Amino acid sequence: MRSQIGALTSSQRPPRGPNWYPSGIVRQIVLDTETTGLEIADGHRVIEIGCIELVHRRPTGRDWHRYLKPGRDVDPGALAVHGITNEFLATQPEFAQVAGEFLAFIDGAELVIHNAEFDVGFLDAELATAGISPPIAERCRVLDTLALARRMHPGQRNNLDALCKRYNVDNSTRDLHGALLDARILADVYLAMSGGQAALGLDAAPTAPGAAAAAGTVARGAVRIPVIRASDAELAAHEVSLDTIDRVSGGRTIFRAGTARGA
């Protein structure tokens, strides 16, 4: 019999589990994996999973991280990338042993993954090997930051290192790939690329004399609210969202129709 771990409907789940948030709260999990090699068809397996939780685009401090025993050797090429040895992995749990807690952590969230097809494909293969259903896409929405970056920066290099350089994200500790480290870096890149707190400066009020005036402010009673202009990256991300809405609606959106009429 195939296991149904994590397959309960919302009405069947406890109302106050570890991942419970009030209605309207946006929960995202930035996720990365490391593997024994590149091809599922060649029997390669997941050996590390790292997850970072964001709620309303802010890191909560919660994460989930495990190394896994794959039941096969790591390819030399993969070892050169992540440095995770067969000897170390031999002491780790198998995926099936931690699948329940992993699925409980990601359940119902939007997954933010760079080159999502690769990671989701490997995770689905692990679920299938463990006899667990349903697959990732039936548990979570998936946002592929590589696809987003390619739309925002066509014709440019859009791997994680290139995006770190483009968005001034510090990746100086990334001598080797690691799932949790890369998830943390990707979280910073995603927030900057999609107009997050780091790009907008929402966490820091101006302190220098005249700084608020330079940024532009709007008075509201005794509170002066900074007006922050959108960056090129934010405008590009907004256009991506508009394109998606227009495509789903079959081209019947008012804003696209108005543009076509020259409004």
Q: Of 110, 122, 159, which Cα lies nearest the Cα of 34?
A: 122
- Spatial contact of 107 and 139, defined as CB atoms under 8 Å apart: yes
Long-range contacts of 155-164, Cβ-Cβ distance < 8 Å, separation of 24 or more: 160/114, 160/185, 160/186, 160/189, 163/189, 163/193, 164/189
Q: What is the spatial distance between Cα 192 and Cα 222, in angstroms, rounded to a whole number?
A: 31
Catalytic residue among 44, 82, 114, 177: 177
Q: What is the spatial distance between Cα 31 and Cα 168, in angstroms, rounded to a whole number?
A: 21
**Residue 177 is among the residues annotated as catalytic for this protein:** yes
Alpha carbon dihedral 190, 196, 201, 203, in 10-degree steps, equals: -100
H, E, C per residue of 39-79:
CHHHCCCEEEEEEEEEECCEEEEEEEEEECCCCCCCCHHHH
Question: Ramachandran region of residue 17, left (φ > 0), alpha (ψ -120 to 50) or beta?
Answer: beta
- Spatial contact of 163 and 171, defined as CB atoms under 8 Å apart: no
H or E segment at 35? strand 27-35
Q: Which residues are catalytic?
A: 177
